[in-house]
A and B are shown apart, each in its own frame.
Chain A
Amino acid sequence: MAETTTEGPGTIEALTLVPKAEARQSMKDFKSDQEVRWCPGCGDYAILAAVQGFMPELGLAKENIVFVSGIGCSSRFPYYMNTYGMHSIHGRAPAIATGLASSRRDLSVWVVTGDGDALSIGGNHLIHALRRNVNLKILLFNNRIYGLTKGQYSPTSEVGKITKSTPMGSLDAPFNPVSLAIGAEASFVARTVDSDRKHLTEVLRQAAAHPGTALVEIYQNCNIFNDGAFEVLKDRQQAEEAVIRLEHGKQIRFGAPLDSGLGSKGVVRDALTGDLKVVTVTPENEPQILVHDAHSASPTTAFALSRLADPDTLHHTPIGVLRSVDRPVYDTQMADQLDTAIEQNGKGDLSALLAGGDTWTVVG
Chain B
Amino acid sequence: MTSQVSSPAEHADGTVVGEQRKPAGTKDVRRLDRVIIRFAGDSGDGMQLTGDRFTSETASFGNDLSTLPNFPAEIRAPAGTLPGVSSFQLHFADHDILTPGDAPNVLVAMNPAALKANIADVPRGAEIIVNTDEFTKRAMQKVGYATSPLEDGSLDGYSVHPVPLTTLTVEALKEFDLTRKEAERSKNMFALGLLSWMYHRPTEGTEKFLTTKFAKKPDIAAANIAAFRAGWNFGETTEDFAVSYEIAPATAAFPTGTYRNISGNLALSYGLIAASTQADLPLYLGSYPITPASDILHELSRHKNFGVRTFQAEDEIAGIGAALGAAFGGSLAVTTTSGPGVALKSETIGLAVSLELPLLVIDIQRGGPSTGLPTKTEQADLLQAMFGRNGEAPVPIVAPQTPADCFDAAIEAARIALTYRTPVLLLSDGYLANGSEPWRIPETDELPDLRVQFAQGPNHTLDDGTEVFWPYKRDPGTLARPWAIPGTPGLEHRIGGIEKQDGTGNISYDPANHDFMVRTRQAKIDGIDVPDVEVDDPHGATTLVLGWGSTYGPITAAVRRLRAAGEAIAQAHLRHLNPFPANLGTVLKAYDRVVIPEMNLGQLATLVRAKYLVDAHSYNQVNGMPFKAEQLATALKEAIDG
Inter-chain CA distance A83–B254, complex, in Å, is 56
CB-contacts of A312-364 with B (<8 A): 334, 337-338, 340-342, 344-348, 350-351, 353-364
B487 proximal to A (CB < 8 A): yes
B256 near A364 with CB under 8 A, answer yes
Whether the Cβ atoms of A361 and B4 lie closer than 8 Å is yes
A347-B305 contact given A96-B325, A98-B311, CB 8 Å threshold: yes
Partner of A107, one of B261, B309, B486, B491: B486
What sequence of 0s and 1s flags, for each residue 238-255 of chain B, a beta carbon within 8 Å of any chain A beta carbon?
000000000000010011
Q: Hey, which chain B residues are within 8 Å of A221, CB to CB?
A: none
Measured CB to CB, the closest approach of chain A to B178, in angstroms, equals 28
Q: Which of A87, A97, A100 contacts B494 (CB 8 A)?
A: A87
A99:B286 contact, CB within 8 angstroms: yes
A87 near B257: Cβ-Cβ < 8 Å:
no
What is the total number of residues of chain A having a CB less than 8 Å from a CB of chain B? 65
| Size bracket of the B interface | 35 or more
- Interface segment out of the listed A6-14, A63-71, A236-244: A63-71
Q: With A338-B304, A358-B260 given, is the CB distance from A128 to B3 under 8 Å?
A: no
Most B C-beta atoms less than 10 A away, residue of A2, A61, A337, A358: A358
Q: Is B4 touching A104 in the complex (CB atoms < 8 A)?
A: no
A84 at the interface (CB under 8 A from B): yes
Residues from chain A with Cβ under 8 Å of B260 in the complex: 355-360
In the assembled complex, the Cα of A248 lies from the Cα of B498 at a distance in Å of: 42
A340 / chain B contacts, CB cutoff of 8 Å? 304
* B364 interfacial contact with A, CB 8 Å: no
A360 and B305 contact, CB distance less than 8 A: no
- Asked whether B497 lies within 8 Å of A88 as measured between CB atoms, the reply is yes
Docked complex Cα distance between A95 and B277 (Å): 26
* Assembled-state Cα–Cα distance A345/B274 (Å): 18
A338 touches B305 (CB 8 A): yes
Scan A247-279; emit 1 where CB is below 8 A from any B CB, else 0.
000000000000000000000000000000000
Chain A residues near B603 (CB-CB < 8 A): none
Q: Considering the chains assembled together, what is the distance between the CA atoms of A98 and B328 in angstroms?
A: 12
Contact digits for B477-499, partner A, Cβ 8 Å, 1 yes 0 no: 00000000111111111111110
Q: Is B112 an interface residue (CB 8 A)?
A: no
Q: Is B388 an interface residue (CB 8 A)?
A: no
Give Cα A356–Cα B59 distance, bound, in whole angstroms.
14
Partner of A86, one of B311, B313, B328, B442: B328
A95 closest partner in B (C-beta): B321
| Across-interface contacts of B322 in A (CB, < 8 A) | 95-96, 98-99, 102
Contact B492 A83 (CB under 8 A): yes
Known contacts A84-B492, A103-B326; A95 and B317 CB within 8 A of each other:
yes
Q: Please tell me if the beta carbons of A104 and B329 are within 8 angstroms of each other in the complex.
A: yes
**Neighbouring B residues of A334 by C-beta, 8 Å:** 309, 311
For A364, the chain B residues whose CB sits under 8 A away are 255-256
A348 to B494, CA, bound (A): 35
Instruction: Tell me the interface secondary structure of chain B in the complex.
Output: mixed
User: B254, A362: Cβ atoms under 8 Å?
Assistant: yes
- Interface flags for A61-91 (1: CB within 8 Å of B; 0: not) read 1111110100000000011011111111100
* Cβ–Cβ contact A66 & B4, under 8 A: no
Q: Who on chain B is nearest to A355 by CB? A: B441
The answer, yes or no, to whether A1 is at the interface (CB within 8 Å) is: yes
| Residue in chain A with minimal CB distance to B331 | A103
Q: What's the minimum C-beta distance from B248 to chain A, rounded to whole angstroms?
A: 14
- Whether a CB of chain A sits under 8 angstroms from the CB of B56 is yes
Contact with A along B301-317 (1 / 0, CB 8 A): 00111111101011101
| A103 adjacent to B309 (CB under 8 Å) | yes
Of all chain A residues, the one with the shortest Cβ separation from B304 is A341
A106 interface residue, CB < 8 Å from B?
yes
A89, B60: Cβ atoms under 8 Å? Answer: no
Cα distance A4–B284 when bound, in Å?
14
Asked if A107 and B2 sit within 8 Å, CB to CB, the answer is no
User: With an 8 A cutoff between CB atoms, is A34 at the interface?
Assistant: yes
A362 touches which one: B256, B326, B487, B496 (CB < 8 A)? B256
Docked-complex contact B274 and A350, CB < 8 angstroms: yes
Within 8 A of B (CB), among A266-310: none
Does A210 belong to the interface (CB within 8 Å)? no
What distance in Å separates the Cβ of B201 from its nearest Cβ neighbour in chain A?
13
Total cross-chain contacts (CB, 8 A): 227
Contacts of A350 in B (CB 8 A): 273-274, 277, 306, 444
Shortest CB-to-CB span from A252 to chain B, Å, is: 34
Q: Counting CB contacts under 8 A, is A125 at the interface?
A: yes
- Contact (Cβ within 8 A) B56 A358: yes
Q: Does A166 reach chain B (CB closer than 8 Å)?
A: no
Q: How far is the CA of A62 from the CA of B393 in the complex (A)?
A: 32
Asked whether A358 lies within 8 Å of B494 as measured between CB atoms, the reply is no
Select the stretch in B120-128, B347-355, B512-520, B567-575 that faces chain A. B347-355
Residues facing A in B219-267 (CB within 8 A) are 251, 254-261
- B558: Cβ under 8 A from any A Cβ: no
A338 with B307, Cβ < 8 A, contacts A99-B333, A362-B254 known: yes
| B259 close to A362 (CB less than 8 A) | yes
With A1-B454, A350-B277 already in contact, the answer to whether A99 and B496 are too (CB < 8 A) is: no
The reply to whether A63 and B495 contact each other, CB–CB distance below 8 Å, is no
Question: Is A92 located at the chain interface by the 8 A CB criterion?
Answer: yes
Greatest chain A CB density within 10 A among B306, B323, B347 is at: B306
Once A95-B325, A359-B259, A362-B62 are accepted as A-B contacts, the answer to whether A87 and B305 lie under 8 Å apart by CB is no
Q: Does A32 contact B (CB under 8 A)?
A: yes
Kindly state whether residue A124 has any CB partner on chain B within 8 Å.
yes
Answer yes or no: B506 CB below 8 A from chain A CBs.
yes
List, in ascending order, chain B residues with CB within 8 A of A19's CB: 487
In the complex, which of the residues A1, A2, A85, A347 contacts B495, with contact meaning CB atoms closer than 8 Å? A85
Q: B318 at the A/B interface (Cβ < 8 Å)? A: yes
In the complex, which residues of chain B have a beta carbon less than 8 angstroms from the beta carbon of A63? 486-492
| A307 nearest CB across to chain B (Å) | 26
Inter-chain contacts of A104 with B (CB < 8 A): 326, 329-330, 486-487
Of residues B3, B205, B326, B496, which shows the largest number of chain A Cβ atoms within 10 Å of its Cβ? B496
Interface string of B1-32 (1 = CB under 8 A from A): 11110000000000000000000000000000
Q: What 0/1 pattern do residues 110 to 138 of A give for CB contact below 8 A with B?
A: 00000000000000110010000000000
A34 closest partner in B (C-beta): B506
Q: CB < 8 Å: which of B2, B284, B507 contacts A361? A: B2
Check if A66 sits within 8 Å of B60, measured CB to CB.
no
Contact of B351 with A88 in the complex, beta carbons under 8 Å: yes
The distance from the CB of A87 to the nearest CB of chain B, in whole angstroms, is 3
Interface string of A1-34 (1 = CB under 8 A from B): 1101000000000000001000000000000101
Nearest A residue (CB) for B254: A362
Residues A107 and B329 in contact in the complex (CB < 8 Å), given A346-B305, A355-B258, A364-B256: yes
Hey, which chain B residues are within 8 Å of A363, CB to CB?
1-2, 256
From A77, which residue of chain B is reached at the shortest CB distance?
Answer: B494
Given A102-B322, A107-B486, does the pair A348, B496 have CB atoms closer than 8 Å?
Answer: no
Cross-chain contact B314 with A124 (CB below 8 angstroms): yes
**CB-based contact B442/A1 at 8 Å:** no
Contacts of A99 in B (CB 8 A): 284, 286, 311, 321-327, 329, 333
The chain B residues found within 8 Å of chain A, CB to CB, are 1-4, 56, 59-60, 62, 205, 251, 254-261, 270, 273-274, 277, 282, 284, 286, 303-309, 311, 313-315, 317-318, 321-331, 333, 347-348, 350-351, 355, 441-444, 454, 485-498, 506-507
Chain A residues within CB distance 8 Å of chain B? 1-2, 4, 19, 32, 34, 61-66, 68, 78-79, 81-89, 92, 95-104, 106-107, 124-125, 128, 334, 337-338, 340-342, 344-348, 350-351, 353-364
Shortest 8 CB-CB contacts between residues of A and residues of B:
A87-B496, A99-B325, A99-B322, A95-B321, A348-B306, A341-B304, A100-B325, A95-B318
- What are 28 A-B residue pairs whose CB atoms fall within 8 Å in the complex? A63-B491, A79-B494, A79-B496, A84-B486, A84-B493, A86-B325, A86-B355, A87-B498, A96-B321, A99-B325, A99-B326, A102-B309, A102-B322, A103-B326, A107-B486, A124-B315, A124-B318, A337-B304, A342-B304, A358-B59, A358-B205, A358-B260, A359-B259, A360-B258, A360-B259, A362-B2, A362-B258, A362-B259
